Amino acid sequence: MDGNGRWANERGLARQQGHRAGAEHIRGVLERFAEHEIPVLTLFAFSTENWGRPRTEIDYLLRLAGRTIDRELDALHEAGIRLQHIGDLDAVPDALQRKVEAAVKLTAGNDRMTVNLAFNYGGRADVVQAVRQLVADGVQPADVTEEAITCRLATADMPAPDLLVRTGGEHRISNFLVWQAAYAEYYFTPTLWPDFGPADVDAALVEFSRRRRRFGLVPGNGADGAS
Ligand code: FPP
């Protein structure tokens, strides 16, 4: 969800107001993905690198995350959305940790769409913790497989992402789902996150539908079309 700061700057507002605008329209975007029957959507809300931002901005983002959960939870629950979380919650304030855990518990039985909140998440850190688990589990070198790592990642019970959308004009993934997105399709849009609405969701999905995914195989040999 990149571009909040620039959106605010363009309007002569404080960066915080860009984050607030970005948080306020999340629901509309989620609803649009749900209407398209997307089963799992991961929102990158706070990266492990974001701790390097000015303290006032970090504190604002932590408060905003709590307020956004408070404001949106009932509507998301009623819409059949299951909330999940990936990332290290131990480092966030207790109150926010409890809010996230309560939201995950409340919505655990919903099955329309899973919204996975990546908060204090870093893709490489997740691979490191998976490898630590492998070692702790006593897995022998010959048994270290891709599957053995995948099933120890925070996303173990989720499918690999098919589409990765980055707003805000940058063409990089910034430590997001680095292992899982090996075969994702990438969609980069200059639209700043607070301006990214339902029509942009439609555009991203139309573009995705035009991609031909080959997963390293040869077209016409079981790997063309929608494979
Ligand atoms: C990146 O824009 C955005 C963030 C670091 C924060 C995104 C978080 C929210 C919208 C709140 C979401 C809360 C929940 C609970 C879902 P940037 O500041 O890097 O923008 P810039 O590149 O224009 O400076």
Which of 73, 89, 92 is CA-nearest to residue 81?
A: 73
Which of 180, 186, 179 is CA-nearest to residue 165?
A: 186
Closest C-alpha residue for ligand 1 atom 19:
2
Residue 125, class by beta-carbon neighbours within 10 Å (0-12 exposed, 13-18 middle, 19+ buried)? middle
Mind telling me the catalytic residues? 2, 50
Condensed to tens digits (0 to 9), the pLDDT of residues 56-86 reads: 999 999 999 999 999 999 999 999 999 999 9
| Domain 4-159 top-level CATH class | alpha beta
Work out the pLDDT band at 40, boundaries 50, 70, 90. Answer: very high
Question: What is the number of the ligand 1 atom nearest to the C-alpha of 66?
Answer: 15
- Model confidence, pTM: 0.93
Question: What is the residue whose two structure tokens read 């555009």?
Answer: 203
The pLDDT of residue 225? 46
**Residue 138: how many CB atoms within 10 A of its CB?**
7
Going from N- to C-terminal start, the domains of the chain cover 4-159
Give residue 127 CA to ligand 1 midpoint distance, Å: 23
Residue 226 has pLDDT above 50, yes or no: no
Q: To test the ligand 1 pocket, which listed residue (4, 70, 71, 98) has its Cβ within 8 A of the most ligand atoms?
A: 4
Condensed to tens digits (0 to 9), the pLDDT of residues 160-196 reads: 999 999 999 999 999 999 999 999 999 999 999 999 9
Cβ atoms of 75 and 108 within 8 Å: the answer is: no
The pLDDT of residue 223? 53
CA R_g for the chain? 18
Residue 37 and residue 31: Cα distance in Å, rounded? 10
Q: To test the ligand 1 pocket, which listed residue (7, 9, 15, 19) has its Cβ within 8 A of the most ligand atoms?
A: 19
Cβ atoms of 82 and 115 within 8 Å: the answer is: yes
Give residue 227 CA to ligand 1 midpoint distance, Å: 33
* CB-based pocket (< 6 A), ligand 1: 1-6, 19, 22-23, 26, 43, 45, 50, 61, 64-65, 68-69, 117, 168
Residue 25 and residue 191: Cα distance in Å, rounded? 14
The pLDDT of residue 222? 59
The pLDDT of residue 216? 86
Condensed to tens digits (0 to 9), the pLDDT of residues 133-156 reads: 999 999 999 999 999 999 999 999
Residue 69 has, within 13 A of its CA and on its CB side, a CA count of 26
Give residue 133 CA to ligand 1 midpoint distance, Å: 31
- Cross-strand pairs, 41: 115
**Residue 179: how many CB atoms within 10 A of its CB?**
16
Closest C-alpha residue for ligand 1 atom 3:
2
> How does the average pLDDT of the chain come out, rounded?
95
The pLDDT of residue 52? 97
Give residue 181 CA to ligand 1 midpoint distance, Å: 21
